[in-house]
Amino acid sequence: MRRRTEAPASNSEPVGADRKGPDQRLHSQGGGRASCRSVLTNIGKCLLLIIIIPPFLNYASLQREGQMLLPKDGQIVDVGLGQKMHLLCKGHGRPVVILDAPTGMSSDVWLHVQESVSTLTKVCTYDRMGLGFSKRLMQNETTGTEKVWGMSTAGRMVDDLHRLLQAAGIAKPFILVGSELGALNGRFYSHIHDVQVSDLVLIDPVPEDVFEEDQWKEYWYGKLLPSLQAKQFSAATGLSRMLIILGAIEPTIKGENVSEEVIQRQKYLLSNPAHQSSAVDEHYFFNESAAQVRDITKFKPLSSRTSVSVITGDSFDEEIPEHLNQMVAKLQKKFLKESYPSANHIHIKGADRRMIYKKPSAISQHLRKLVNRRQAKQQSE
């Protein structure tokens, strides 16, 4: 009997120990879950701050910089229909030179050319709607012209430019200079308002039928446009400003002859989602703009009174594949022969579409010649 009673007694301690074990394990697991939840909560808060704070700080900075970085000599011109555009004129005299920037770029790209030519005459640059300091209307607002031409197309831009030059009282006839999309606008404007344009200068004109080539469409819509959309997203989230601060993104125009104000203005535009959005739209609707210009030039030929100059480099863009550059050059040659056979073609060795700010002296030199020729003719008359 004693042995049978002792046996359970000897087993009683392990049984009691087993009863306490699960409670301890549950307590340990519960504490682990609570700790895990705490870590996840903290991570969530950090992610929330990362998502919310950069865009908020970027927006606040943009509001301040938009006033501070407006060029001192620039003016915001009311062009009617509820629109206001940024115009910057330097120098005095006639003929006035009007400079229209490449696709998706602000007027700062003409910095060196404007400074050089303004010693001879009045030179004006402007920001197309949505770019730089020209605010684009909200989608629920309307001017009526987009119903005809569509937003961010050459027809709409030419209408904007015409109203801008009228509102600013720019003397006519003037010399109209455009690069890429600006060249399309220049052609459109010169064919419609030929009496107002004495000289048309096309820099790196993109031939209309280039978009009929599958390889070009693949590059434009498959590579270039997505990269611009990524810049727009980066600006909207405040990431661009952070990358600029870290030195991972640098302004396009830089060098010893570029003021700190211009550099800061470029950083402002890189961080501005409105500017980046308009740049995307101009590229997206480029093909439609080209089609509009093709139709207009066929409908109304250019006046024989308007001289045409074309400035190109060794390649359209040295950073794209060679076969694409060759394609553009071939189509460009065909387009010039058919559309402007008497144009003065100027070739700049070692240049591409960035010549406006990388090799501006050749462009300035040609524009100065045009100005001198027109001024001499004015004096003789």
pLDDT in tens, 101-130: 999 999 999 999 999 999 999 999 999 999
* Counts of helices then strands in the chain (DSSP H, E): 13, 8
| Mean per-residue pLDDT of the chain | 86
Tokens at 11, concatenated: 């087993």
Q: What share of the chain is helix, strand, coil (3-state, %, to 5)?
A: 60, 15, 30
Range list of β-strands (E), 197-252: 197-203
| Interaxial angle between packed helices 260-270 and 239-246, expressed in degrees from 0 to 180 and rounded to the nearest 10 | 140
More confident residue, 4 or 201: 201
Measuring CA to CA, which residue among 360, 257, 266, 282 is closest to residue 71? 266
Which contiguous run of DSSP H or E holds residue 320?
none
The pLDDT confidence band at residue 144, using thresholds 50, 70 and 90, is low
Measuring CA to CA, which residue among 168, 174, 166, 75 is closest to residue 122? 174
Task: Say yes or no to pLDDT of 68 above 90.
Answer: no
Residues 219-273: tens digit of each pLDDT: 999 999 999 999 999 999 888 988 898 889 999 888 878 899 999 999 999 999 9
Cβ atoms of 249 and 240 within 8 Å: the answer is yes
* pTM score: 0.84
pLDDT score at 174: 97
Name the amino acid, one letter, at 12: S
In total, the chain counts a number of residues equal to 381
Residue range 281-287: mean pLDDT, rounded: 95
Task: Say yes or no to pLDDT of 379 above 90.
Answer: no
Q: How far apart are CA 10 and CA 91, in angstroms?
A: 108
pLDDT score at 26: 45
Tokens at 265, concatenated: 């203005």
pLDDT score at 152: 81
The pLDDT confidence band at residue 53, using thresholds 50, 70 and 90, is low
Q: How far apart are CA 142 and CA 151, in angstroms?
A: 10
Share of the chain above pLDDT 70, in %: 81
Alpha helices in 224-271 (DSSP H): 225-236, 239-246, 260-270
Pairing of strands 97-100, 307-313: unpaired
The distance in angstroms from the start CA to the end CA of the chain is 141
Which contiguous run of DSSP H or E holds residue 156?
helix 154-168
